[in-house]
């Protein structure tokens, strides 16, 4: 038996696992219910179930890559451990002041997000570093020592340090970090220069505060699950998925948990990119609709879109991450009426426990799942391949009592309304991720995955103007498939502001040379051979006077003045695409250099099938409600397992499989391609 890799994605409702046998390329997938209070227990259940189905030995598993939402959920639910902040004297309130930005410019009553560290746990010390990196005032050890008891007495489990201009010269910050680690042992300490070496005090402070606050949580989680995993998988190397699409070790995850803010969705984005390459479709919009949220990622010209200006819950996070737009719309999103009987869907979710009303676990609120069940789009006896039974009558009663009767409409009309509003929420997010960023939806294929994505994809594509939908062979566990094929990745960045003629090879080469050195050292520590290393350079540029940057590609190797000119031209071109204007006559400013250090992992080729060009035979027909008809219509139901490459059929149709259900609307056409993907042509 050859080496085996496992990918595990813990979602709000289900925990998915992919078992990849490297020699044969055989992939086995399954899912188990998540446990909100015990995610590690669900992980072990998934491992045991996956190995059983694949009929492989636990001793042959060499790698487990784990995507987790533990940091994301703690931030969103305001359950981060108590944290303190030590900063430069006079800058105690930077975290509170933030930026003069209003998410909704017309809402006069909106509240600013609560800072990660409240004012009573923010402390300042007398130190100062100049913008050029010269030490103006060294920190006083006695002053810092006075904070030891204060921090301990505050109940803090972690301390963040963020000094002015420490990204230029971290000497003062490193000194205080060492003093605090000696003086407040047992409390986690994080310094900003270790997490983010870039300009913008508020964003850098927010990032290190989130990192420090998450350290106790992630450390406890990993210390709990690591021995459990080792007991089941004695030879497995355990890695965790980062927001940037690469994996990192347990030790690195404990020190830099902020890198896992979007750990779960990143696996799905990687899988979208890989499938796009295999199908020769360079422009894809990945729509991952799970139980609690929908994650949207864009692949343009075969490349993932990355950002260093991400965030969570209105809190900025300045680390490289895949650009993923997450909204609170999932299969478990709760439908509710406001005081004026206006119908809303989400962002509250029933999750896995108690779950939708149909789950019969104590949930009484109507959800998107209940609405799809009532409309006939899901069969009550075939949920999760029949492993889990759901109650149609309970779903109807929840919608009737909570939505239909107050609005004086039928249960079907109320259920259709729930679906329309959930789709409208996702439609807006799709436009933000495509047309509003300068990408024509007509040039994009929508790739739908997650347990619920294929149920809504065809309607979403129609609304946005996307001509084709791709549903992969295993949509419900697609993110976990991406995890087993992820590369090891480290990101390094350094701010060095250069203007005009200063943007030249003689100034760029030392900067990128140092970043390259750090990148190779990181991959060396991970044991990545030189022939499996890939360094990807980029730079943040802006027009002089702008307050935001655009990231452009930088070639590897020695840079000369011609290379610098091409980098600037690339900036002008990308600025035009993103913002519909550019100014080649205006001076340009180089702000930060970046290097992504990637340890390449082998991934099996997707197996192609022989096409037969035949039709497809439905296993049955049933009544399904569609908006196009405003009524139930007779709809063919197909079993995904029986559809071979080349099979073609027209909508309305339902395609059922173990991990998901695909809805094809009237007037749409479907086919199975040579890779086993279900392709839906939306039509006019």
Structure tokens that stand for 410 in this block: 């039928």
- Structural domain tally of the chain? 3
Sign, Cα dihedral of 502, 506, 510, 511: positive
Q: Judging by DSSP bridges, how do beta strands 445-449 and 306-307 pair with one another?
A: unpaired
For the chain, give the mean pLDDT.
Answer: 89
- Asked, for residue 432, whether it belongs to a domain, the answer is no
Query: pLDDT tens for residues 319-345?
Result: 888 888 888 788 889 999 998 999 999
Least confident of 94-98, 104-108, 179-183, 556-560: 104-108
User: Could you tell me if 331 and 451 are in contact, meaning their C-beta atoms sit under 8 angstroms apart?
Assistant: yes
Residues 96 and 202 in one domain: yes
State phi, psi for 84 to the nearest 5 degrees: -110, 165
Percent of the chain with pLDDT strictly greater than 90 = 59
Please check the confidence at residue 102 and state whether its pLDDT lies above 80.
no
Rounded Cα distance between 660 and 216, Å, is 36
Please check the confidence at residue 178 and state whether its pLDDT lies above 60.
yes
Which residue is it, tokens 């004297």?
89
Percent of the chain with pLDDT strictly greater than 70 = 97
Please check the confidence at residue 384 and state whether its pLDDT lies above 70.
no
**Segments forming the whole domain that contains residue 101:** 75-218
Residues 85 and 194 in one domain: yes
- Asked, for residue 276, whether it belongs to a domain, the answer is no
Query: pLDDT tens for residues 153-163?
Result: 999 999 999 99
Final residue belonging to a domain, choices 579, 599, 619: 599
Residue-level pLDDT at 228: 92
- The secondary structure of 399-426 as a DSSP string is HIIIIIHHHT--HHHHHHHHHHHHHHHH
- Asked, for residue 594, whether it belongs to a domain, the answer is yes
- The secondary structure of 258-269 as a DSSP string is GGGTTHHHHHHH
Residues 399 and 491 in one domain: no
Burial 273-303 (b: 16+ CB within 10 A, else e): bbbbeebebebbbbbbbbbbbbbbbbbbeee
Residues 512 and 593 in one domain: yes
User: Could you tell me if 623 and 639 are in contact, meaning their C-beta atoms sit under 8 angstroms apart?
Assistant: no
Burial 509-542 (b: 16+ CB within 10 A, else e): bebbeebbeebbebbeebebeeeebebbbbbbbb
Rounded Cα distance between 595 and 593, Å, is 7
Q: What is the pTM of this model?
A: 0.82
Structure tokens that stand for 459 in this block: 């309607």
Residue 639's DSSP bridge partners are: 656
- Asked, for residue 121, whether it belongs to a domain, the answer is yes
Residue-level pLDDT at 383: 73
Residues 413 and 494 in one domain: no
Structure tokens that stand for 373 in this block: 């069940």
Residue-level pLDDT at 553: 92
Please check the confidence at residue 544 and state whether its pLDDT lies above 90.
yes
Residues 79 and 211 in one domain: yes
CATH number of the domain encompassing residue 91: 3.40.1360
- The secondary structure of 129-161 as a DSSP string is E-TTS-EEEPPPHHHHHTHHHHHHHTT-SEEEE
Mean pLDDT of 43-66: 91
Helix (H) or strand (E) holding 369: helix 368-374
Query: pLDDT tens for residues 133-146?
Result: 999 999 999 999 99
Instruction: Give the confidence band of 1 by pLDDT, cuts at 50, 70, 90.
Output: very low
> If you average pLDDT over each of 350-354, 386-390, 480-484, which comes out highest?
480-484
Query: Where is pLDDT greater, at 112 or 173?
Result: 173
Residues 194 and 96 in one domain: yes
User: Could you tell me if 356 and 367 are in contact, meaning their C-beta atoms sit under 8 angstroms apart?
Assistant: yes
Instruction: Give the confidence band of 74 by pLDDT, cuts at 50, 70, 90.
Output: confident
Residues 499 and 578 in one domain: yes
Residues 79 and 214 in one domain: yes
CATH number of the domain encompassing residue 578: 3.30.1490
User: Could you tell me if 423 and 368 are in contact, meaning their C-beta atoms sit under 8 angstroms apart?
Assistant: no
- Asked, for residue 328, whether it belongs to a domain, the answer is no
Sign, Cα dihedral of 611, 615, 620, 624: positive
Final residue belonging to a domain, choices 580, 599, 618: 599
- Asked, for residue 469, whether it belongs to a domain, the answer is no
- Asked, for residue 211, whether it belongs to a domain, the answer is yes
Query: pLDDT tens for residues 592-637?
Result: 999 999 988 777 677 777 666 666 789 999 999 998 777 899 999 9
Residue-level pLDDT at 488: 86
Q: Treating both helix axes as pointing N-terminal to C-terminal, what angle do 505-525 and 561-579 enclose, rounded to 10 degrees?
A: 80
Residues 370 and 504 in one domain: no
- The secondary structure of 429-451 as a DSSP string is HHHHHTGGGT--GGG-EEEEESS
Residues 407 and 529 in one domain: no
Final residue belonging to a domain, choices 599, 621, 636: 599
Residues 405 and 507 in one domain: no
Indicate the SS3 state at residue 577.
Answer: helix
- Asked, for residue 279, whether it belongs to a domain, the answer is no
Please check the confidence at residue 386 and state whether its pLDDT lies above 60.
no
Least confident of 136-150, 211-225, 372-386, 487-501: 372-386
């Amino acid at each position: 038996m050859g080496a085996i890799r496992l990918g595990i994605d813990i979602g709000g409702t289900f925990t998915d696992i992919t078992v990849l046998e490297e020699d044969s390329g055989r992939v086995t997938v399954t899912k188990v219910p998540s446990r909100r209070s015990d995610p590690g227990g669900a992980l072990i259940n998934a491992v045991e179930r996956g190995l059983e189905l694949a009929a492989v030995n636990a001793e042959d598993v060499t790698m487990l890559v784990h995507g987790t939402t533990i940091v994301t959920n703690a931030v969103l639910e305001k359950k981060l451990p108590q944290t303190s902040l030590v900063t430069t004297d006079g800058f105690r309130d930077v975290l509170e002041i933030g930026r003069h930005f209003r998410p909704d410019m017309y809402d006069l009553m909106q509240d600013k997000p609560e800072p990660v560290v409240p004012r009573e746990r923010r402390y300042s010390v007398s130190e100062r570093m100049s913008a050029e990196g010269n030490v103006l005032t060294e920190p006083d050890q006695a002053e810092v020592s006075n904070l030891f008891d204060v921090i301990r007495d505050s109940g803090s489990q972690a301390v963040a340090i963020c000094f002015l201009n420490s990204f230029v010269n971290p000497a003062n910050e490193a000194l205080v970090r060492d003093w605090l680690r000696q003086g407040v042992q047992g409390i986690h300490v994080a310094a900003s220069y270790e997490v983010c070496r870039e300009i913008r005090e508020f964003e850098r402070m927010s990032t290190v505060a989130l990192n420090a606050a998450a350290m106790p949580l992630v450390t406890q989680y990993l210390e709990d699950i690591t021995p459990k995993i080792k007991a089941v998988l004695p030879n497995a190397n355990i890695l965790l998925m980062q927001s940037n699409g690469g994996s990192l070790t347990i030790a690195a995850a404990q020190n830099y948990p902020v890198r896992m803010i979007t750990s779960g969705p990143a696996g799905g984005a990687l899988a979208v990119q890989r499938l796009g390459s295999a199908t020769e479709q360079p422009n894809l919009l990945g729509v991952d609709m799970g139980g609690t949220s929908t994650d949207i990622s864009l692949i343009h010209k075969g490349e993932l879109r990355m950002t260093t200006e991400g965030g969570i819950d209105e809190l900025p996070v300045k680390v490289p991450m895949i650009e993923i737009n997450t909204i609170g719309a999932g299969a478990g999103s709760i439908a509710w009426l406001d005081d004026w009987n206006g119908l809303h869907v989400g962002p509250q979710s029933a999750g896995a426990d108690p779950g939708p009303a149909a789950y019969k676990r104590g949930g009484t609120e109507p959800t998107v799942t209940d609405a799809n069940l009532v409309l006939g789009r899901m069969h009550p006896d075939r949920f999760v391949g029949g492993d889990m039974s759901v109650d149609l009558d309970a779903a109807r009663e929840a919608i009737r009592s909570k939505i239909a009767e107050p609005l004086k409409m039928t249960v079907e009309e109320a259920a259709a309304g729930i679906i329309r509003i959930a789709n409208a929420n996702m439609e807006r997010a799709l436009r933000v991720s495509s047309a509003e960023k300068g990408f024509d939806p007509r040039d994009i294929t929508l790739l739908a995955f997650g347990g619920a994505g294929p149920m809504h994809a065809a309607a979403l594509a129609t609304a946005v103007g996307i001509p084709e939908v791709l549903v992969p062979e295993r949509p419900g566990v697609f993110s976990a498939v991406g995890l087993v094929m992820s590369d090891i990745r480290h990101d390094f960045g350094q701010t060095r502001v250069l203007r005009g003629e200063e943007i030249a090879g003689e100034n760029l080469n030392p900067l990128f040379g140092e970043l390259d050195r750090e990148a190779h050292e990181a991959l060396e520590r991970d044991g990545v051979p030189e022939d499996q290393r890939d360094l990807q350079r980029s730079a943040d540029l802006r027009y002089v006077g702008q307050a935001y940057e655009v990231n452009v590609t930088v070639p590897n190797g020695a840079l000369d003045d011609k290379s610098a000119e091409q980098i600037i031209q690339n900036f002008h071109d990308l600025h035009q695409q993103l913002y519909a204007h550019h100014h080649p006559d205006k001076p340009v400013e180089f702000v930060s250099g970046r290097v992504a250090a990637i340890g390449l992992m082998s991934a099996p080729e997707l197996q192609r099938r022989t096409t037969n060009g035949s039709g497809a035979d439905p296993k049955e027909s049933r009544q399904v409600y569609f908006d196009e008809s405003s009524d139930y219509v007779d709809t063919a139901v197909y079993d995904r397992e029986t559809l071979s490459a080349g099979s073609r059929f027209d909508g309305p149709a339902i395609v059922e499989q173990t991990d998901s259900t695909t809805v094809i609307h009237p007037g749409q056409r479907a086919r199975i391609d040579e890779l086993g993907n279900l392709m839906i042509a939306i039509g006019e």
